[in-house]
Every structure is written in C-alpha cells, then in structure tokens.
Chain A
C-alpha cells in the first residue's frame, strides 16, 4: 500500500488550503487590524503597541526572554514529568484496589474541586522564591487530570475483552501488558494533554505570585513598567512553551497509539 502518493498529497494540500484560506485570511486580518487600529484610534503606546513593535522590541530583549523561557520551561517540564510519573501509577493502583477506591479516590475527587492555583501563595510562603514552589504548583495542576483520567482508563476495559482475557487463563501481568495497558492508553492521553495545557498556566501564575525570574515574572515586571510590547513578547514565548509541551505529548500519542480512532488517516 502506497503511503506516499505525490498526486494525492498535492490534492490533499490543495483541499486543505481551500478549506482553511478563510481562517488564514482572518488571522492575517486580525493582526493587520491590530497594527493599524493602534495608529487610527491613537491608542497610547503604554496601553497597547502594534505587533510590529512587539516583534522589534521583543527581538531586542531576546537574550533575557530566552533565559526566562528556559527557567519557566524547567519548572514546567519537571512539574509535568513528576505529575506523570506519580499520577499514572496512583491512578492504576486506585483502579485496581477497592480499598484505595474507597479512601484516596473520593479524597482526590474532593481536592480536584479546589482550584489548585489558590495554594500558590502558601507554597511560596513555605518554600520561598526558588524553583521548588513553582515545580510543586505545576505538579498540582497537572497531577489531578492525569490521575482521574488514568482511573477512568484502567476501569473502562470492555466486558468482552475482560472475559476474553480470563478465558485464556493469562496471569495478571500478561493481561495487563497485552490487553489492559494498550486499551487504557487513549484515555490516559486525554489526561496527559489536558495536563500539558495546564502546566504553563500553573507556572506563569506561580511566578506572578512570587519570583525573581521566569516569563511570569517578566510579564509582571514589564507591565508594571508600562511596556505592553514586552509583555506580549513574554506571552508569545509562554505560548510557545505550552505549544511545545503539547506538541511533544501529541507526538508521543501518535507514536504510541497510531491505531486510535482520533488519529487514523481518513
């Protein structure tokens, strides 16, 4: 079966362009409107700057922005990785243990109702301005979606596959690795993706509350200095960070579960 067919790829691209040209036009139109409305409506530069100026001044401050992206990125990556490493086994344990399901599970559901970000000032006051409190907050906002989706994932094996597995006489581990785990992965990725979106939000807000470096800190300081241009530059890099993490998770999803209905080539 030919996976790559030049003619068809071209046709698909053409179709894609035809379907998306309105979006692209709107996107460009939006930025053009922004660019010129600042001039037309005579908006002061300390309120809003045109995109061209954001790019220009952002580029001038690039070393600092990259530096801070690295710092915020470190918080995001460590917090997210910790959340995955701890939440997945916990979700698994809760899914298979009736005791944990009656103790930790309702507790987690209750905590899930609490806006985790509200803990941020407390962690900062307990642990100071460094990396650790930010990592913990990123961890908190990522942990719950992963745990809850993992529990759902490992509890949702179809009746038929459960019976099939039992009828083969396979042991717990073999059943887990050959049936339960692959069947659970799509739902697990729902949690991973949701957490990936949360991660940069958590890091930025934690930095707003108490920090002396990072993109959240940067955005807050330059806004205080009446420099919306630099604030937008900071937001741009924060977005880039979030997109990169989300992109990596999506890539992992494509590699691990290419068979899933949401990823099939039509």
Chain B
C-alpha cells in the first residue's frame, strides 16, 4: 500500500473575526511513500501547526490532508510522533515508557519484548533500559523518546524538532542514527526543523516555508547519495543546496 501524505489547499486560521490569525497556508504538497521530507522555516511559520494537523491533533481550517489515501479526521493512531519536549513520563523507566506506548494502544507488552530490546539496542540504550529518564542525558532521553514513538512500528513518522534542545555534537550523532534507521526501514518521514544543514543532510526533499503565514516557497529535491556523512557535507553540491536555501530566507529578510 502506498504510504504517502497529501496536502491539498491546507490552511489554518486561529480564532475568528477581526482577531483571527492566519497562521498557515494554503499549502499543496505530496510526500511520497518512504520519503524523508523536511519542513524548514523560521520559528513561528507554522511548521509545527502543519505537523499537528497531519497527526489529526489539530483541525484544518480549509483544505484536506490524507495519509495513504484516507482523509485525516481526528487523531491518527498509525503514526509515530516526536516533539521537541519529549513525552517520557518521569514515573516510568525507559523500558516502562516504551511499554506505555503499547499499553495505551492496548497492545500486549509481553508480545513485544523482542521488539523493545531490538529498538533499544538500535539507539545504544540497551544498558539504560531500567533507568528513569531523569538519570539520562538530554541526548539519551531523546533516543529513549524515539524508541517510545516508534515501538508500534508506524509507517509514517512525524518529527517536530526532536533534536531542537540538544547540543551540537549530540545532535550530529542522533542525526546519523536517525538516518540509518530511516535507510533501513524506509518509513515516510515529515521532519520539522529550523536548521538548514540538518534539513539538507537528512532529507530527500526540503520544503522551504516562508514566515507567517507559512507557505511552501519551494520544494528542493536533495539529490545527494545516502548515507550522508561528513564527506557529503563538505561537498560543493551540499554547499550549493545550503546556498540556495539561504537565498530564499534572505529574500524574506529572515536571515
């Protein structure tokens, strides 16, 4: 089954009457099956709003969103979501937090023991399964949050600046982990970020979003081979993409 996300004329207005704020859109875009698409834009441009609308956690004012051909109406349960502030609960261990995702969905935890161990190992957290979130560093917490968001094996991943609060080095490492996981399982990914480099390094397509009200100014196909490591980032092609993106933002006076 093709697992693509379609946005047609999607628009979001907060409030009504003269006080209404036109936050986003209208936006038309297709995120193809297995693609990694970044929503790149300045803060306040409505990237997160689009993300929440895609997850069915926020109503669309105008237009429609569909995932795998099914219109989004209400919370989508077959996707994995990560936020900038993680959703780890302090009263459970790392393993307990992953199990929480399953328990909330009514999936038997016992039937997923192997999967839990495997996903923990894939982000190098196997030795920290029985620790509480507050015993972990920020980077480890986001890795644990990743496991929590993905344990139910969603085919679609919505990542809302999951690396936003991490230091530069930790970000770098988790990016490469994220890239390997995506290359291995090829889910459809919608990734919100305001880092130009991060967007270009990870994505097959970068949707450049204008300041409020957010619109997609251009969708740039990033035609660079995976895996994209330091070598790729030093290449002239990479710099050209960075330059192209920067020019758009410069035109809007964002940078």
Give the B-binding residues of A (Cβ under 8 A).
Answer: 158, 160-161, 163-170, 174-175, 178-179, 182-183, 257, 259-261, 264
B182-220: CB near A (< 8 Å → 1, else 0) gives: 000000000000000000000000000000000000000
Q: B105 touches which one: A170, A182, A183 (CB < 8 A)? A: A170
Complex Cα distance, B75 from A169, in Å, reads: 7
CB distance from A258 to the nearest CB of B (A): 9
Q: Contact between A163 and B89 (Cβ–Cβ < 8 Å)?
A: no
User: Does B62 belong to the interface (CB within 8 Å)?
Assistant: no
| B81 lies within 8 A of A165 (CB) | no
What are some 21 contacts across the A-B interface (CB < 8 A)? Answer: A160-B85, A161-B87, A163-B52, A164-B87, A166-B75, A167-B76, A167-B79, A167-B81, A168-B101, A168-B104, A169-B77, A169-B104, A169-B105, A174-B103, A174-B104, A179-B104, A182-B91, A259-B90, A259-B91, A259-B132, A259-B134
Please report the C-alpha to C-alpha distance between residue A178 and residue B101 in the assembled complex, in whole angstroms. Answer: 10
Enumerate B29-66 residues with CB–CB distance to A below 8 Å: 52, 55, 57
Interface of B is mostly: loop
Collect the chain A residues with CB atoms within 8 Å of residue B134's CB.
Answer: 259, 261, 264
The chain B residue with its CB closest to the CB of A256 is B91
Q: A193 to B143, alpha carbons, bound, how many Å? A: 37
Give the chain B neighbours of A261 by CB distance below 8 A.
90, 134
Question: In the bound complex, what is the Cα–Cα distance between A178 and B85 (angstroms)?
Answer: 19
Q: What is the total of A-B residue contacts with beta carbons within 8 Å? A: 59
CB nearest neighbor in B for A163: B57
B222 interfacial contact with A, CB 8 Å? no
Chain B neighbourhood of A166, CB < 8 A? 57, 75
Are B57 and A178 in contact (CB-based, < 8 A)? no
If the complex has contacts A167-B55, A168-B105, are A182 and B79 also in contact, measured as CB distance less than 8 A? no
Majority DSSP secondary structure for residues of A touching B: helix
Residues 72-103 of chain B: 1 if any A CB is under 8 Å from the residue's CB, otherwise 0?
Answer: 00011101010101110111000000001101
A82 CA to B76 CA in the complex, in Å?
A: 42
Complex CA–CA separation, A165 to B132 (angstroms): 20
| In the bound complex, CA of A160 to CA of B141 (Å) | 15
Q: Which of A163, A167, A178, A259 contacts B103 (CB 8 A)?
A: A178
Let me know if A167 and B57 touch, CB within 8 A.
yes
Chain B neighbourhood of A259, CB < 8 A: 90-91, 132, 134
Q: Tell me, rounded to whole Å, the shortest Cβ–Cβ distance linking A233 to chain B.
A: 43
Tell me, in angstroms, the Cα distance from A264 to B91 when the chains sit together.
Answer: 11
**Does B57 contact A175, Cβ atoms closer than 8 Å?**
no
- A152 and B103 CA atoms in complex are apart in Å by 26
What distance in Å separates the Cβ of B52 from its nearest Cβ neighbour in chain A? 7
Whether the pair A183, B85 counts as a contact (CB closer than 8 A) is no
